[in-house]
Chain A
Amino acid sequence: MSVEPFNRLVKLAARAFYDDITTKGDNQPKTGRSDNRGIAVVVLDALTRRQWVREEDLAKDLKLHSKQLRRTLRFFEEEKLITRDHRKETAKGAKIYSAAVAATAEGQRNAKEGEEKIKLHTHSYCCLDYAQIYDVVRYRLHRLRKKLKDELENKNTVQEYICPNCGRRYNALDALRLVSPDDEYFHCENCNGELVAESDKLAAQEGGDGDDNARRRRREKLKDMLQKMEVQLKPLMDQLNRVKDLAVPEFGSLQAWEARASVAGRAVNGDSSSNDPSKSSQGLGYGRTPMTFIGETKVKFVLLIYDSASTSDCTVEVAFSGIEGKEEDVKSQTGSSGLKVLPPWMIKQGMNLTKEQRGEVKQESKMDGISAAEFSHEKKSTSDDVDNKSLQDEYVKAYYAALLKKQQELEEAAKNQELLQVSNSNAVPESVSNRQVGMKSKREEDEGEDDVEWEEAPTGGNSGESYKVNDLNVEAEASGEEEDDIDWEEG
């Protein structure tokens, strides 16, 4: 029961059909902000990474207002893409769910959810209904194609007739009056001339050519549209064909799912914790709780810039181990969850998020600068437990730091080449040393600077990777990102 092809189907369908869906009733005054097209795609994508999910949690994860999310979800429910379940529940009921979530996704959440005080509220849960999605998409495609073809073949149009003599027009509804007893043609009521069907070109040109031109143009347009549709929806149709013979992932109703997940989770949790408790307890929050994760990252990261600035070799190593750790995480996740086998796209998704995080981190470092770093230093020393828990997180962060450093290095190198006009052989070491000295001053400059340079960051980061490092892991990530890009464009 592989979810991946179905998820791909959902993603393609989302981009094909729900790309420009806006949910109305947004009371934000600015038109720019209230333009929430694409929300539908984001929500669907998020749902592909989850099974049953509480809508509030989903809203939190997506940083959406729960009302807005609910509106979108209601729309999808009407579109028959998702199933929803509403129930009144106490804290205990919520725990069942969170236990199930913990079993399928991660351990981190478990504790949090347990602490939350949940009163008797109605909670809504939603889940993709893959079987139905498959049918819905197929039906939609069928309707699209049928409609265009019908139009194209004049299937449901009323035939028109013209009298070539007097130019009088009739349509098929007049047929009864037009039949003549003598022969098998229609005859004009006026002049008794033989009528010709309008689509016969010769006659049509004699009759009214402007109208016919319009008709022909319309025909061309339709044909064009049909062709475009075939081309543009090809990936979707291919995916439909691929999925056709696969078993549809079925999560069942919320209750059934919870029961199954918690049973499976109990068994698996025992396993994984005995194997490697540190792994199962941390790091797996990428998919579900990026917010808290990011918060920690922000604090630590600024610190690590300075570490990395002083000892470049060391940080590069750390960065690699960070990557390895991350992959291991994913693997362990895959291995440990008996019910939900996490397919390879999970890795991709993790990278997506790290990309986001990178963006966040950079903004943060720009804003806070040194004072934040010092502050975080203190904070770090006081909060040991956080440290222990996210030891591996730090690896990842160190990796970001290394990335950033490399990027800066690259910029620096470019600057040096411009300014100093140093010969190529000297340029590299020169730039490195310069960077280390110039690091701080640049940092301070950056405080005042506007966003432009920082928004270039992703491309700079990527090129930095390929520029400096020839490590397999890093290349793998770069290629993963490319793959991801392609994926998005395809939609």
Chain B
Amino acid sequence: MFFHIVLERNMQLHPRYFGRNLRENLVSKLMKDVEGTCSGRHGFVVAITGIENIGKGLIRDGTGFVTFPVKYQCVVFRPFKGEILEAVVTMVNKMGFFAEAGPVQIFVSNHLIPDDMEFQSGDMPNYTTSDGSVKIQKDCEVRLKIIGTRVDATEIFCIGTIKDDFLGVINDPATA
């Protein structure tokens, strides 16, 4: 699920960036530092949408670096148990398949793939129904439900299922 929230971060800026463009430099550094990171608490920071305010800088003793407390608005993405996501399959193996929904990695084990889908090994490993009408392989898009998440300080990993109504392949670029 996506959230638009306000976060705060202390930015350390090298003295060489001081000058007219201090503010711009600060923001671009913030973006470089923060976007794409993951915190267990808030999820993945997808994008910074604005700066709320920048506090007074504090010169660090000895180094000359200056610390600015920056409040910024950003879009975060955090997967939840029970959430339905659309994801792209990245790897298929005998144990199941991995998929990505943006920054989130999701594993769907073979127990959570409908029973009528069989694993086919080979050049392009895939799961196929007996009549061959549905095929899950690398790069196809699936809709899945998250049934478990592991949230570490710096990463989030999910397991999902496609064994439910309206879940499964939604678009297969190979056949399209």
Contact = CB atoms under 8 A, between A and B. Distances in A.
Contact of B111 (A173, A195, A197): A197
Contacts of B147: 156-158
A176 B147 CA distance: 16
A176 to B, nearest CB: 6
Contacts of B157: 173, 175-176
B95 A173 contact: no
Chain A CB within 10 Å, residue with most, of B109, B150, B164 = B109
Contacts of A159: 96, 109, 111-112, 159
A489 interface: no
Nearest to B148: A158
Interface of A: 153-159, 161, 172-173, 175-176, 179, 184-186, 195, 197, 199
The DSSP consensus for interface residues of chain A is: loop
A159 to B, nearest CB: 4
Given A172-B96, A172-B148, A173-B150, 11 more contacts: A154-B111, A155-B161, A158-B159, A173-B149, A173-B157, A173-B159, A175-B159, A176-B105, A184-B125, A195-B95, A197-B110
B34 interface: no
A179 B91 contact: yes
B95 A197 contact: yes
Contacts of A158: 147-148, 159
B112 A155 contact: yes
B163 A173 contact: no
Contacts, number: 58
Give chain B's interface residue range (CB within 8 Å of chain A). Answer: 20 to 34
The DSSP consensus for interface residues of chain B is: strand
Interface string B126-150: 0000000000000000000001111
Given A155-B164, A197-B111, A185 B95 contact: yes
Contacts of A157: 147
B4 interface: no
Contacts of B98: 175-176, 179
A157 B147 CA distance: 7
A172 B164 CA distance: 18
B160 to A, nearest CB: 9
Contact of B94 (A154, A175, A185): A185
Contacts of B121: 184
A175 B96 contact: yes
Contacts of A156: 147, 161
B111 A199 contact: yes
B107 interface: yes
B109 A197 contact: yes
A197 B119 CA distance: 15
Interface string B83-114: 00000000101111010000001010111100
Nearest to A177: B157
A186 B95 contact: yes
A184 B111 contact: no
A159 B111 CA distance: 7
A176 B158 CA distance: 10
B95 A184 contact: yes
A156 B105 CA distance: 18
Contacts of B94: 184-185
A-B CB proximity, top 7 nearest: A184-B93, A175-B107, A173-B150, A159-B109, A172-B159, A184-B94, A156-B147
A175 B148 contact: no
Contact of B95 (A154, A155, A175, A199): A175
Contacts of A154: 111
Contacts of A153: 163
A158 B96 CA distance: 13
Nearest to B121: A184
